[in-house]
Amino acid sequence: MSAVAEAPYVGREMRRKEDPRMITGRGRYIDDIAVPGTLWIAIVRSTEAHARIISIDKSAATGRNDVVAVLTGEDLAGDFAAPMAMVWSPPGVEIKTPEYWPVARGEVKHVGDPVAVVVGRDRYSVIDAAEHVVVEYEPKPVVVDPEKALEDGSPLVWEQFGTNRTHEWKVSGGDIDAALADADVVIEQRMVNHRTAGGAIETRGVLADPNGDKITLHSSTQIPHILRFVLSLLLGIDEDNLRVVAPDVGGGFGSKLQVYPEEVIAVALAKRLNRPVKWIETRSEAMMATHHGRDQIDYITLAANSDGTLTGCRARVVADLGAYQLLLTPFIPELGFPVMGGCYKIPAIDLTFEGVFTNKFCTDAIRGAGRPEATYWIELMMDKLADKLGMDPLELRRKNFIRKEEFPFTTALGITYDSGDYEGTLDRLLERLDLEAFRREQEELRARGIYRGVGFSTYVEVCGLAPSRAVGPQGVGLQAAFWESAMVRVHPSGSATVFTGASPHGQGHDTSFAQIAADRLGIDPQRIQVIHGDTDQGPWGWGTYGSRTISVGGEAVARAAIRVQDKAKEICAALLEAAPEDIELVDGKYRVRGSPDKFKTMAEISGAAHIPPQELPTDIEPGLEATAMYDPENFVFPFGAHACVVDVDAETGKVSVVRYIAVDDCGPPINPMLIDGQVHGGITHAIGQALYEQVVYDDEGQLVTGTFVDYAMPTAAELPSFETDRTVTPSPVNSLGVKGVGEAGTIAATPAVTAAVLDALAPLGVAWIDMPLTPRRVWEAISEAQNGGAQA
């Protein structure tokens, strides 16, 4: 693409522009916004996992001081135009989708289902009043285990469907039957990738503020534009009368990529009562009513020749979707399919995904969303295959890697990987980890009863959602598109504002987008402000999730800024009596090529654009701004090689991560400091899943992990500092060459951690343990192996 500044801001470790507010307590999150006259909302939630509502007695609550209204699902029936939305409609496949109303009508399907809404004048008094709403239930049979839910005679979550199976979706390429029949070695494994929570430290919250016919919804969301679009349909309010604002958002991790019942309820109540209404989720509510992630049981088969050449892979995935379908619920398990073959050449791949209803809350996107699960299968199966063949697991990987010169590479499933250098990241990793020395140390430690192990993950992931036609209605079947937008406006005195349709919640786009724009405008990034998260400001956009924002939203910024640069050159040329093609942007100056003393600054050019001098031709439109909408031609495929070293206490089963090395490749860095930060957080999220975290329901569907006391997220004390490194393989898909990195660590790390534990315990005969690798599970696996020989 045409000229960027000679000493570019892109690539520099710049301190974030966002931070001065946040480190001084001046951030503005949802609960920090106060509107006079606001009424508070508390939700009465089901205590039953599955029941018919016999009666709701509101009288004791209604009469309390400060209570304005108590409303049930029946009371609110006229306030909602349509039930909650699910947007995946794959061609040729029916997905069972029950009517899901924001407040239950007649039956509840999981613990935490909204049963009634209390509105009042005070934060505390509405919670008091909610406890005085008396609901009488007739319990119905409950099912929580997805495989039992598929058995004949299982209790049904939705009787009208006659089954708990929501859908079956298949994708395949190559001749899997022949591959399995002809292979020298075929290995199989059942794996459980358990249910987890997003765990953003800020819970959800909404403030709906009516003004005349228009309602503004402030919501802690990742998707303000999608939210407005869907709310308009669910509430029958035209979009021009709805404004959605995402203020500072205290973490998302996919859990705020959703349209939730409480968002619909808040707008409906603001409209009904014509008063501002606010709801701030408690952590206990978040654990039961903010969507969960993962929760699948995977049956994986991997086939190879005796020399280690992979010949085929088959997977059957049983995905526990919970009680309802939310925005992307049934689609998330399938999102891993493009990278099911990992970074390996596998000529035949065959995948079947089954969704299942259970009496739990919905699953949906949580950091990685389908790709951590796919990476977990393939990486651990590679280790098992190496063990079976008596090969070194890294040599087995190298033998099957797609080679650098083979890109773009089209997989058996027809997915085209854009670029990669899988040997390069593995080589770099092994420069940092002396494996021979490690093996010697491991032997010495084992002799002293210390079980140390190393696990590897050479991952590839798919992100950059997305080519709209590939994933849209006639492609994969999402009733949506995934381009992104940017509007770049240079002000008369030479500072600039970038409006983006993306909506960050910690990623640092105020800084990285300013860096991208700065190089292309010739303006210092400190004089460029990035505006996001407000549907009344800037162009439509699809939001921030799926590691898409730099490669799609950032590219939109680059394109809009180049359009502004082109116009600035045209104006400059007119002012300097030169040809536009002779103007070059160097060190913030628009100068005549070959005559460096003849130049204009952006402030001079923008001044002339806004207040045109006589010499500026009248056919140049006034003003200096441009908009770009960018729909990529392909996904991008970041990759890397990770190694985890753990110590396992064989007496207690406790696992300690003692070293973690990550070599990632996401193309040319925009701000390397921000990339490292994303990798650190991503790895930690995965260590949390691998070792500590699990959302647990008991057999009656009661949520056992209802608070942060029971849901164990890692603290600083459980972790080492991380070692990070990078290689740089540009993507040909966008002009920046960038790929996403927000989920890379989470996608890479669960197999590395699990493999490290299995490596540590190999001398004790432990062949498999399902996550989370808690002391109890590890201890039990050791005991079982010692007493009963190696398990399957």
Partner 1 sequence: MSTTVAVRLNVNGAVHELEVEPRLLLVHALRDHLGLTGTHVGCDTSNCGACTIHLDGKAVKSCTVLAVQADGVPITTIEGLAPEGGLHPVQEAFWNDHALQCGFCTPGMIMAATALLTENPNPTEQEVRHGLEGNLCRCTGYHNIVKAVLDAANVKSASLEQHPEVTA
Given the rule CB under 8 A, which residues bind partner 1?
A: 15-16, 18-29, 31-32, 65, 123-125, 128, 199-203, 248-253, 282-284, 505-508, 673-674, 676-677, 680-685, 707-709, 713, 715-717, 719, 721-722, 745
Element (H or E) spanning 544, and its range? none
The nearer residue to partner 1, 371 or 685, going by C-beta atoms, is 685
Q: How many other CB atoms are found less than 10 A from the CB of residue 172? A: 14
Least separation in angstroms between CB 681 and partner 1? 5
The token pair that represents 778 in the structure block: 């590890």
The nearer residue to partner 1, 16 or 228, going by C-beta atoms, is 16
The nearer residue to partner 1, 103 or 675, going by C-beta atoms, is 675
The token pair that represents 436 in the structure block: 């021979």
Least separation in angstroms between CB 363 and partner 1? 18
Give the C-alpha separation, 630 to 269, whole Å. Answer: 37
The nearer residue to partner 1, 65 or 479, going by C-beta atoms, is 65
Q: What is the C-alpha end-to-end distance of the chain, expressed in Å?
A: 55
Least separation in angstroms between CB 688 and partner 1? 9
DSSP string, 518-534: HHHHT--GGGEEEE-SB
The nearer residue to partner 1, 25 or 617, going by C-beta atoms, is 25
The nearer residue to partner 1, 154 or 705, going by C-beta atoms, is 705
Closest CA to 156 of 145, 139, 141: 141
Beta strand 114-120 pairing with 39-45: antiparallel
The nearer residue to partner 1, 96 or 367, going by C-beta atoms, is 367
Least separation in angstroms between CB 13 and partner 1? 8
Only one residue has tokens 């009517």, namely 99
Q: Please return the burial class of 45, using the count of CB atoms within 10 Å of its CB with bins 0-12, 13-18 and 19+.
A: buried
Q: How many other CB atoms are found less than 10 A from the CB of residue 735? A: 17
The nearer residue to partner 1, 474 or 715, going by C-beta atoms, is 715
The nearer residue to partner 1, 16 or 520, going by C-beta atoms, is 16
Least separation in angstroms between CB 761 and partner 1? 25
The nearer residue to partner 1, 252 or 455, going by C-beta atoms, is 252
The angle subtended at Cα 435 by Cα 432 and Cα 440, nearest 5°, is: 130
Least separation in angstroms between CB 44 and partner 1? 17
The nearer residue to partner 1, 90 or 546, going by C-beta atoms, is 546
CB 362 within 8 A of CB 324: yes
Three-class DSSP category at 654: coil
Element (H or E) spanning 494, and its range? none
Asked if the bond preceding 466 is cis, omega within 30° of 0, the reply is: yes
Three-class DSSP category at 116: strand
Least separation in angstroms between CB 482 and partner 1? 23
411: Cα separation from own chain's centroid: 24
Least separation in angstroms between CB 557 and partner 1? 20
Least separation in angstroms between CB 322 and partner 1? 22
Least separation in angstroms between CB 683 and partner 1? 6
Give the C-alpha separation, 491 to 568, whole Å. Answer: 12
CB 563 within 8 A of CB 626: yes
Q: What CA–CA distances, in Å, run from 46 to 139, 293, 422? A: 11, 21, 50
Give the C-alpha separation, 699 to 613, whole Å. Answer: 77
Least separation in angstroms between CB 687 and partner 1? 8
Q: What CA–CA distances, in Å, run from 453 to 124, 197, 684, 693, 768? A: 51, 28, 18, 21, 14
CB 635 within 8 A of CB 476: no
The token pair that represents 453 in the structure block: 């192990």
CB 463 within 8 A of CB 636: yes
Least separation in angstroms between CB 545 and partner 1? 14
Least separation in angstroms between CB 719 and partner 1? 6
Least separation in angstroms between CB 649 and partner 1? 18
Give the C-alpha separation, 515 to 530, whole Å. Answer: 10
The token pair that represents 444 in the structure block: 């010495």
Q: Which residues face 590 on adjacent strands?
A: 585, 600
Least separation in angstroms between CB 348 and partner 1? 38
Q: Which residues face 215 on adjacent strands?
A: 210, 242
Q: What CA–CA distances, in Å, run from 496 to 92, 486, 518, 527? A: 48, 13, 9, 6
Closest CA to 367 of 201, 552, 199, 248: 199
Element (H or E) spanning 314, and its range? strand 310-322
Least separation in angstroms between CB 745 and partner 1? 8
Q: Which residues face 684 on adjacent strands?
A: none
Least separation in angstroms between CB 254 and partner 1? 12
The nearer residue to partner 1, 149 or 679, going by C-beta atoms, is 679
CB 206 within 8 A of CB 224: no
The nearer residue to partner 1, 558 or 675, going by C-beta atoms, is 675
The nearer residue to partner 1, 165 or 680, going by C-beta atoms, is 680
Least separation in angstroms between CB 692 and partner 1? 12
The nearer residue to partner 1, 197 or 326, going by C-beta atoms, is 197
21: Cα separation from own chain's centroid: 25
The nearer residue to partner 1, 681 or 775, going by C-beta atoms, is 681
Give the C-alpha separation, 205 to 285, whole Å. Answer: 11
Q: Please return the burial class of 51, using the count of CB atoms within 10 Å of its CB with bins 0-12, 13-18 and 19+.
A: buried
Give the C-alpha separation, 1 to 3, whole Å. Answer: 7
Three-class DSSP category at 687: helix
The nearer residue to partner 1, 512 or 734, going by C-beta atoms, is 512
The nearer residue to partner 1, 430 or 719, going by C-beta atoms, is 719
Only one residue has tokens 């088959």, namely 314
